[in-house]
Structure 1
Amino acid sequence: MKRSINKVAVVGSGIMGSGIACHFANIGVEVLLLDIVPKELTEAETKKGLTLESKVVRNRIVNDHLQNALKSKPSPIYHQKFASRISIGNTTDDMSKIADADWIIEVVVERLDIKKLVFEQIEKYRKPGTLITSNTSGIPIHFMSEGRSEDFQQHFCGTHFFNPPRYLKLFEIIPGPKTDGEVLSFLNGYGEKFLGKTTVVAKDTPAFIGNRIGIFGIQHLFHLVKEMGMTIEEVDKLTGPVIGRPKSATFRTVDVVGLDTLVHVANGLYEGAPNDEARPWFQLPDFIKTMMENKWLGSKTGQGFYKKVDKDILSLDLDTMEYRPQKKASFATLELTKTIDKPIDRFKVLIGGKDKAGEFYRKSFAGMFSYVSNRIPEITDDLYKIDDAMKAGFGWENGPFEIWDAVGIEKGIELLKAENLTYASWIDDMLASGNTSFYTIKDGATCYYDISSKSQKKVPGQDAFIILNNIRETKKVWSNSGAVIEDLGDGIINLEFRSKMNTIGGDVLTGINKAIDLAEKDFQGLVIGNQGANFSVGANIGMIFMMAVEQEYDELNMAIKLFQDTMMRVRYSGIPVVVAPHGMTLGGGCEMSMHADKVVAAAETYIGLVEFGVGVIPGGGGSKEMALRASDQFHKNDVELNVLQEYFLSVAMAKVSTSAYEAFDTGILQKGKDIVVVNQSRQIAEAKKHALILAEAGYTKPIRRKDVKVLGKQALGMFLVGTDSMEAGHYISEHDKKIANKLAYVMAGGDLSEATLVTEQYLLDLEREAFLSLCTERKTLERIQFMLTKGKPLRN
């Protein structure tokens, strides 16, 4: 049957419930959010003369929870205006409204008795055929639907979102005993396509997949840290970005999540999985018991493994259980990996270390390899689901089986035997069948070892994706040290940045020009996109700094002109150019997006012109483009100065959107032209589709603009008065004022006596001149140097 989701009811408005409601609002769905009625009045309500029958009182709990969520950082919602898609109510007065919902999601407290009461109430109003799911992290699904109608049970299952729902991509689907196959299929597709999730169908086993493996990993480390006499700083140093994990690593992550949350799941696993061979690991070490008794639960109680005192962050000594100044952790083994860019390539080096770090990695990976092999077929039949769950739910760059592949199957077995750990017999069967790795790449698709057939099978769901890692070598058209051009098929090529942090330097600019040359000659269109952590953090400021320090101003002028000319080629090539930004898209990365025929942005795109932070103005066409976009709005608004001022402030305040949707407000993305995709995995394929549409519609090379209206002295005067007052009020420094005035001169079109139509090149020349003049300023060089060494802006 055809099924669509237009309205969702979320019952339970706590942190998870409000987060889930916000994410459905993110994707345009109407949401009804419900919670219980308060049992008594607050002091403030009593003073106002309100009663328990007042609507505002009856909805107080749900309203407070939602408002707290909307104020939280990072925000659970792509744009604050999307909150209007959420209506609130209470389970006493408004439960009948769930009859209009296409999907009802229960998110109440983790107690089976309460959940069953809620389901009983829901069934009174739910219309037959409506999806009904529970967001639980551990209660067995088969217990929940007992006693419910046949239709209820057929349309019921677990759907486990990870917190925060907007940012963590894992979406576990856990069928009940009678869940209809059509329901599972629909939720699997909907989660991936509309919610932007990595969907994983799990078995109804304790903690399902993500938390079963993730909590084991943390508990194993808790025991290992005591066994090896390690500090929490050492463990966090070894379990963070160096192995492709979040910066918060292990102990900082527990502080953020809450120690009580982790303990709850660990205790549940200890009780609920009596036959788990690693059950002793789920017992709490003494230091965890002490922390629980002291209520040192992490961020929510002000102290956990770390504690902030004034400006200092102290660490917990696990031997004395007292807080002390942090100790810097350093290991010789980590030094050996500094020249290895990708975490997946570091694992062989890490397990070979001769110091405590090497020993730690050998023990921790051996424990993980043993555990995940023994969980198949208990928690899932397919090994790729374990890797998907850990990557999407815990932010790992590589899953356990991918890491095992990286060190080698035989080497992994060697580590296991050294620790007297067991592994599943299917591993031996795999090797005996001639399969020497868990994963292979075939015809651009990822294949995994299927245990039942003893053969490599294609990971399902890839047809909607283009995975650049899988085609880079076989479909490569051209490459240099900073960029790769791949053939995406159907006449579309892709330019992928491969520089450090995807900065835009000479090699990348060469790659852009080469890609346009190739596309104009032999292809129909070009996509500029990559699948790194971020699209691009901007121009290579290290190169700019060296030229400026050496006072090589002619060379710097040529470099900036090359950047500008390349952006103009993106705009005025003979083929459509679609740019696909995601993550941090700053400075030059933003300018490139602004010059594309179309932007296909990931929802999680943090984009802006941030050059003020390093003491310059946007010099790759960004300042020109903001003036041009303001000019295009003049005919729609009589107050031209106000329009120009809005665009000026977007640059002068270095505004960075917290989602792609916010970038429409700052003028970086354009309504009616640029689009947003929620599932980043689909982004390159979607960008290719739009490049094809533009090409097949009869793409014509645009004509260079000669009709940009600039306002001259009228606008310049307004800006200069504004920057004077900002400096006088100590809102900006003298150097901030100087940068802002340079930007004002460019965006006003200079000190022309009256409004005038000018060419884009005229504005580009002004922009480049202003950029170069700022590069001669000592305070600008100080800002660039500070950014290069400290990674954050200097206010001087």
Structure 2
Amino acid sequence: MSKRRIKKIAIIGSGIMGSGIACHFANIGVEVLLLDIIPRELNDKEKAKGLTLEDKAVRNRLVNEALAASIKSKPAPLYHKSFANRISSGNLENDIAKVADADWIMEVVIERLDIKKQVFEKLEKHRTPGTLITSNTSGIPIKFMSEGRSEDFQKHFCGTHFFNPARYLRLFEIIPGPKTDASVLEFLNGYGEQFLGKTSVVAKDTPAFIGNRIGIFSIMSLFHTVKAMDLTVEDVDKLTGPVIGRPKSATFRTVDVVGLDTLVHVANGIEENCKNDEQLALFKRPDFINTMMEKNWLGSKTGQGFYKKQVSNDGSKEILSLDLNTLEYRSKKRAKFATLELTKPIEKVIDRFKILVSGKDKAGEFYRKTFAALFAYVSHRIPEISEDLYKIDDAMKAGFGWEHGPFQIWDAIGVEKGLDLIKAEGLEPASWVNDMVVSGNTSFYNVKKGASYFYDIPSKAQQKVPGQDAFIILDNIRKSHEVFKNSGVVIEDLGDGILNCEFQSKMNTIGGDVLAGLNKAVDLAEKDFDGLVIGNQGANFSVGANIGMIFMMAVEQEYDELNAAIKYFQDTMMRMRYSSIPTVSAPHGMSLGGACELSMHADKVVAAAETYIGLVEFGVGVIPGGAGSKEMALRASDTFRKGDVELNILQEYFLTIGMAKVATSAHEAFDLGILQKGKDIVVTNKDRQIATAKAHARILADAGYTMPVKRKDVKVLGKQALGMFLVGTDSMEAANFISEHDQKIANKLAYVMAGGDLSEPTLVSEQYLLDLEREAFLSLCTERKTLERIQHMLKTGKPLRN
């Protein structure tokens, strides 16, 4: 069978969703044609210019304005601004014939069946047979859309539902129509995962599919519980946020962002079309929701929803909360529950659920009620919305940002304990759950030989979750493949001669134990293995060095110990580069400060596309002291070409540190000189990252890896560069762009990157630069203002400008 390739996609409809999807296809290198309708009348600007409805600029106005707004929006839909060049725009009258060249046509127009059918009729006249054609509907039955279309159209037609924003939310629901060819579903499932970086889930053609059916139930159920338990908006957002592994925006803030009208639209669709749903009553809107809809309090888009920003006469801002009883806005109240205090020492979210449901206060009651309702509901949705329970968990994690799906939470509480909660609330689970327990299966999931298994209802046995062969799941192999462990790291054998060093500290900070673990990993790899990956699957790769440890030493004025600690950090980074085995770093999420330095010293970086990486030490009043300042000077030197203005190149690298620039995607990190073109690579699907990093470590080893020779040929520019930097920081301080202390830090960095005040450009060793860097870092740690900055960061998590 010939392989299907997607070189060009045509997206019909340029609203928020259509433009967002267009940007994400551009992110992965696909050529995009974005089409929309033509305007019916001229706007004032066009009239003033004397344009007519026939002018191209007018005919493409709607599509171009929508795309421009999308590209400017935050968070950015593109990995890199230049990727916008991969998108061309047009209108559905002049340019519809161009869809003949597309390998995939996707409809993303208004949610009205009559309009969608008209669009498909037009498209079929120009579509090349065999081309994929899909709809990004969030709820219109797929079977109605392809009615009356040709056999070839119906065979290649299905739903492909992205969640907004398309770059960041990972759920990709694929919904077959009555005649969709199995090979089309198989292709889209694989394409979504490998190329788009999504969690692909094949869903059934039921209202709201999987993600929204469960997600909207969960929110509507909460709306009713809030009133019954007399909880505040703040209470619920405290109880349903990060403490249970959900986004910071929790429930009500999320509804404000998404829009109450959007939520109500989907809930209405479920209420109208799911008459056999045993919890149908919960999809009816409570009175306070009806009032908010009438008053147009829809959230962020109308300026007020469950929260409202108020600006006082003196310019101060306050976020007010809606009192659900009086429906008036009031100052926010702090939510506090004894049960939540008990979970504070528990780092892993999955270990908190047992404690939460056994709480003796209102929080405990809330969790017992809401989890009981959720568990009962998801059990009844099988086989209605999916045959397999893992797909429901996948959908909730990827579409709603839940760290754990409903069946995983139920497992964490205990299946039988979950059944007790359901009964206590007067609810009934689906019969298959009782059958499962009677047959001796006590959990929905198991891990065997490093692979995840789920309880398969028809066979009444544990079956392997499909599609995980391309992944290495560290949670599954940690115990069985552990080679070494301390309080900071676990070192695992990934197989094929490659080790992995996984951080286990709080927020994956790099302290003494992590450094000891990294050195141990290199020792072990050099002795008995062929390569080393530094990777983890936490929320973030690492937020950098443990600044609490640095602060304590500096306050106690233990400068000898501090000097030794900085040297240990530097030496560990240098071991990443100068070891006899290849080292591969796999950063993702926040990869800041010391974590960035570590990646810059690995032989290769396999970065997740969503990597936010940078040297941010200026924010805490120091310069990069873990070989980062040295490395930026070295990279500038390697970039010098004959005839270049070398000072300008050095200045760019200096500003990357001085402005604490953080790349907002791995693709941006190439611009900052943090990742290197031709050496480092980017993977779109984070789940594939460790497996890809392992493969690259293996390739480097097989290519005959030899330990690099230490560098003694770094060109530094001395006084010439130092003078330029000092004049620059002087004028910045004089113009009040930076504070006096900022200037002091910048001057210390300038001294390191210039290689000191040498009288002429000179070739120096890396060690020479490391010694300068360490000296500068130490001297800044003796400054009161630096200690104030570190203390402020430790207390608030925000930088202080002093």
- Name the TM-score, length of structure 2 as normaliser: 0.99
**After superposition, what is the alpha-carbon deviation per residue over 1:84-123, rounded to whole angstroms, capped at 9, x for unaligned?**
0000000011000000000000000000000000000000
Quote the residue 1:785 is aligned against.
Answer: 791
Deviation at 1:636, TM superposition (A): 5.6
Quote the residue 2:265 is aligned against.
Answer: 264
- Distance in 2, matches of 1:91 and 1:240, equals 43
Deviation at 1:261, TM superposition (A): 0.3
1:606 to 2:612 alignment: yes
Quote the residue 1:570 is aligned against.
Answer: 576
SS at match of 1:749: coil
**After superposition, what is the alpha-carbon deviation per residue over 1:305-349, rounded to whole angstroms, capped at 9, x for unaligned?**
000002100000000000000000000000100110011100000
Paired amino acid for 1:260: D
Quote the residue 1:67 is aligned against.
Answer: 68
1:155-554 paired onto structure 2 within 5 Å? 155-310=156-311, 311-554=317-560
Paired amino acid for 1:444: G
- Distance in 1, matches of 2:556 and 2:137, equals 61
SS at match of 2:591: strand
Deviation at 1:434, TM superposition (A): 1.4
1:3-22 paired onto structure 2 within 5 Å? 3-22=4-23
Paired amino acid for 1:208: F
Deviation at 1:459, TM superposition (A): 0.3
Deviation at 1:431, TM superposition (A): 1.2
**After superposition, what is the alpha-carbon deviation per residue over 1:732-769, rounded to whole angstroms, capped at 9, x for unaligned?**
00000000000000000000000000000000000000
1:629 to 2:635 alignment: yes
SS at match of 2:166: coil
- Distance in 1, matches of 2:745 and 2:643, equals 28
Quote the residue 2:723 is aligned against.
Answer: 717
Structure 1 residue runs of 5 or longer lacking an equivalent are none
Deviation at 1:399, TM superposition (A): 0.2
1:687 to 2:687 alignment: no
- Distance in 2, matches of 1:9 and 1:327, equals 49
Quote the residue 2:781 is aligned against.
Answer: 775
- Distance in 2, matches of 1:44 and 1:422, equals 62
**After superposition, what is the alpha-carbon deviation per residue over 1:651-683, rounded to whole angstroms, capped at 9, x for unaligned?**
000000000000000000000000000000000
Deviation at 1:427, TM superposition (A): 0.5
Paired amino acid for 2:14: S
- Distance in 2, matches of 1:96 and 1:432, equals 60
1:701 to 2:702 alignment: no
- Distance in 2, matches of 1:141 and 1:286, equals 33
SS at match of 1:446: strand
Cα distance change on mapping 1:221 and 1:48 into 2, 3 Å: same
Paired amino acid for 1:596: A
Quote the residue 1:738 is aligned against.
Answer: 744
**Percentage of pairs with the same residue:** 79
- Distance in 1, matches of 2:166 and 2:198, equals 9
Deviation at 1:534, TM superposition (A): 0.3
Structure 2 residue runs of 5 or longer lacking an equivalent are 312-316
Paired amino acid for 1:534: N
- Distance in 2, matches of 1:409 and 1:632, equals 59
Paired amino acid for 2:219: I
Deviation at 1:454, TM superposition (A): 0.3
Quote the residue 2:88 is aligned against.
Answer: 87
SS at match of 1:314: strand
Deviation at 1:192, TM superposition (A): 0.3
Quote the residue 1:669 is aligned against.
Answer: 675
- Distance in 2, matches of 1:308 and 1:205, equals 38
Deviation at 1:422, TM superposition (A): 1.1
Deviation at 1:429, TM superposition (A): 1.3
CA RMSD of aligned residues (A): 0.5
Quote the residue 1:659 is aligned against.
Answer: 665
**Farther-moved stretch of structure 1 (176-185 vs 627-636):** 627-636
Quote the residue 1:591 is aligned against.
Answer: 597
Deviation at 1:428, TM superposition (A): 1.3
Paired amino acid for 2:217: F
Paired amino acid for 2:706: T
- Distance in 1, matches of 2:212 and 2:89, equals 31
Q: Which of 724, 730, 752 is 2:758 aligned to?
A: 752
SS at match of 2:223: helix
Paired amino acid for 2:451: A
- Distance in 1, matches of 2:455 and 2:166, equals 30
- Distance in 2, matches of 1:482 and 1:397, equals 22
- Distance in 1, matches of 2:394 and 2:568, equals 42
SS at match of 1:744: helix
Paired amino acid for 2:479: E
Deviation at 1:481, TM superposition (A): 0.5
Quote the residue 1:52 is aligned against.
Answer: 53
- Distance in 1, matches of 2:565 and 2:490, equals 21
- Distance in 2, matches of 1:298 and 1:612, equals 37
Paired amino acid for 1:739: I
Deviation at 1:635, TM superposition (A): 2.0
**After superposition, what is the alpha-carbon deviation per residue over 1:409-438, rounded to whole angstroms, capped at 9, x for unaligned?**
110000000100111000011112211100
SS at match of 2:527: helix
- Distance in 2, matches of 1:299 and 1:782, equals 36
1:649 to 2:655 alignment: yes
Q: Which of 614, 622, 625 is 1:616 aligned to?
A: 622
- Distance in 2, matches of 1:101 and 1:159, equals 16
- Distance in 1, matches of 2:469 and 2:603, equals 26
SS at match of 2:789: helix
Deviation at 1:637, TM superposition (A): 5.5
Paired amino acid for 1:256: V
- Distance in 1, matches of 2:801 and 2:310, equals 25
**Farther-moved stretch of structure 1 (493-502 vs 427-436):** 427-436
Count of equivalent residues: 796
SS at match of 1:118: helix
Quote the residue 2:314 is aligned against.
Answer: none
SS at match of 1:159: strand
Cα distance change on mapping 1:313 and 1:636 into 2, 3 Å: farther
**After superposition, what is the alpha-carbon deviation per residue over 1:633-662, rounded to whole angstroms, capped at 9, x for unaligned?**
112651100000000000000000000000
- Distance in 2, matches of 1:726 and 1:150, equals 69
SS at match of 1:732: coil
**After superposition, what is the alpha-carbon deviation per residue over 1:7-44, rounded to whole angstroms, capped at 9, x for unaligned?**
00000000000000000000000000000000001101
SS at match of 1:179: coil
Paired amino acid for 1:185: E
4+ residue runs of structure 1 moved beyond 2 angstroms?
none
Cα distance change on mapping 1:263 and 1:769 into 2, 3 Å: same
